[in-house]
Each structure stands twice: as C-alpha cells, then as structure tokens.
C-alpha cells in the first residue's frame, strides 16, 4: 500500500469516527442529549483525492451546518426558511411562524451550551498522529523498493 492509500485509509477512519460521534448521545445535568447532526452535515465529511499526491478530509456540501456549530452548539431562533425546510423534510404540516413564535416564547433553541470537544477534535488528533507515525514507514519502504528494484539480495 502506497503513501496516498495509507493516508486515505487513515483519513477515512477519522471521517467514519466523526460521523459516528455526530450521532452519539451524551449526558448533561439536564439528562441525556444527542448531537443528532442531520444526514447532510454528517455526509459533508468526505475523503477526497486531489491529483496524484494529495488526499484531503473535507467538510463540504450544500446547505450544511457550520462546522463550529456541530461541536460548539448554537443558541437562538432559526429563520423561517430553515423552519420551513425542516418541517417539509419531516413531513410536518405546521405554520412556521407559529413554530418560531413558540420557540421564541421558550427562550430560543439551546442545543449545546458547552462545547462537545469529543465530536471532531479527537478523531483529527488521532489521524494526525497516525499520519506522522505511518507515512514515513511507507515512504521509506517505497524508496527502498525503488532503489533496489531488480537487485538480487
């Protein structure tokens, strides 16, 4: 396995771990809660090959949550357009203005007030450590193979 394949495998494992974390629950003083990122946000994490010599873990997609909001959370009241789209996707036939007024009356949505650092950062840190550890070994093996190609040892 070459360096690009090794890097792609490591980054794909990080992607899978982040996506799994995005669906996990955690405990707070108020009880059990879920990160519960939508499929769009979770699916926005991808491993992409950029040419022959670069592999990237990207967070890219149409209409996905800002990356900081997944880990740090958001508070406030969603715009009507977001509520309409959400209700449509869920098959709900409600008045978005009434839903927004009810949310506002309750003080807004409060997803996570304290950052949930375990969602993304540990997976990235582990991937970086694996890249530092494994890529020099793979590169050295490739150089050795090229240097001694055809030689009888």
Residue that wins the pLDDT comparison between 80 and 55:
55
The boundaries of the domain holding residue 100 are: 75-110
Quote the pLDDT of residue 30: 63
Quote the pLDDT of residue 152: 66
**Among 136, 137, 131, CA closest to 9:** 131
If asked whether residues 61 and 25 sit together in one domain, one would say yes
**φ, ψ for residue 141 (rounded to 5)?**
-65, -40
**Among 106, 150, 130, CA closest to 10:** 130
Predicted TM-score (pTM) above 0.75: no
If asked whether residues 86 and 131 sit together in one domain, one would say no
If asked whether residues 120 and 45 sit together in one domain, one would say yes
């Amino acid at each position: 396995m070459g360096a690009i394949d090794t890097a792609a495998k490591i980054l794909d494992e990080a992607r899978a771990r982040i996506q799994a974390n995005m669906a996990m629950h955690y405990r707070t003083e108020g009880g059990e809660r879920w990160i519960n990122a939508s499929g769009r946000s979770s699916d926005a994490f991808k491993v992409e090959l950029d040419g022959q010599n670069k592999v990237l873990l990207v967070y890219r997609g149409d209409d996905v949550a800002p990356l900081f909001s997944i880990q740090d959370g958001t508070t406030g009241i969603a715009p009507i357009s977001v509520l309409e789209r959400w209700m449509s996707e869920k098959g709900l036939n409600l008045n978005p203005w009434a839903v927004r007024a009810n949310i506002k009356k309750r003080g807004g949505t409060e997803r996570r007030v304290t950052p949930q650092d375990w969602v993304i950062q540990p997976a990235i840190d582990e991937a970086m450590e694996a890249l530092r550890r494994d890529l020099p070994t793979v590169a050295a093996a490739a150089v050795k193979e090229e240097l001694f190609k055809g030689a009888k040892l």
